[in-house]
Amino acid sequence: MNATELVMGSDAALFMSGMNAYLLDFLATGYNYWMAIVLMMIGFYITLARSNLVKKIIGLNLFQTAMFLLYISIGNVVDGGVPILTDNPDALYSNPLPHVLILTAIVVGIATTALGLALAVRIHEAYGTIEEDEILDAEAGDS
C-alpha cells in the first residue's frame, strides 16, 4: 500500500492511476497537435490583446506558423522518410501533399504580411501612430 492509497483509499488511487494513464496516452498520441494549438492560441492572443499594429501582424504570423506545424504533423508517417524517391522500392515516405500545401501557404503568408505592414506604414503616415487605441481616439476626436 503506497502513500496515495493511504490518503485516498484504493478505489480512488486506481481511478487516479487510470486517469494518469489516460492523460499520458492523450499527450503521447497527439503531442504535436496540442503544442501546435497552444502556439496558435498564443499568436491569437497577441493579435487580439495588443494594440500595436506591427505586434498584431507578428501575432498573426505566429498563428500561421503554428498552423503549418499542425499540418505537417498530420502528414508525418512514423519511420517515413523525406518524400524524395530513392532506389529502395519498399521505402516509406511522409505524405508530400501537406508539404505542397504549406509551401504555397508560406508564400501567400509572406504576401499578406507585406500588405499588412504596408497598411501599418500608411496608417502611421496618416495618424502618426500605430497604436490602435490612439487611432480610435483620434477618430473619435474628428467626428
Partner 1 sequence: MLFAFLIATALGIAYLRHLFAVVMLAGMFSLLSALLLLSMDAADVAFTEAAVGAGIATILMLSAMALTERQEKPSNRSMLERLPALAVAGAFGALLIYAMLDAPPFGDPFAPAQTHVAPYYIEQTAREIDVPNLVTAILASYRGFDTLGEVVVIFTAGIGVALLLGGFVARDRSK
- State which of positions 105-124 bind partner 1 (CB under 8 A): 106-108, 110-115, 117-122, 124
Among 9, 14, 81, 136, binds partner 1 (CB under 8 A): 81
Cα–Cα distance measured from residue 143 to residue 138, given in angstroms and rounded to the nearest whole number? 9
Residues 8-27 contacting partner 1, CB under 8 A: none
**DSSP-derived 3-state class of residue 81:** strand
Contact 91, 103 (CB under 8 A): no
User: Is residue 42 at the binding interface for partner 1, with CB under 8 A as the rule?
Assistant: yes
Q: Is residue 131 within 8 Å of 52, Cβ to Cβ?
A: yes
Work out how close the CB of 96 gets to partner 1 at its nearest, in angstroms, rounded to a whole number.
Answer: 4
The CB-of-137 to partner 1 minimum distance in angstroms stands at 10
51 interacts with partner 1 by CB under 8 A: yes
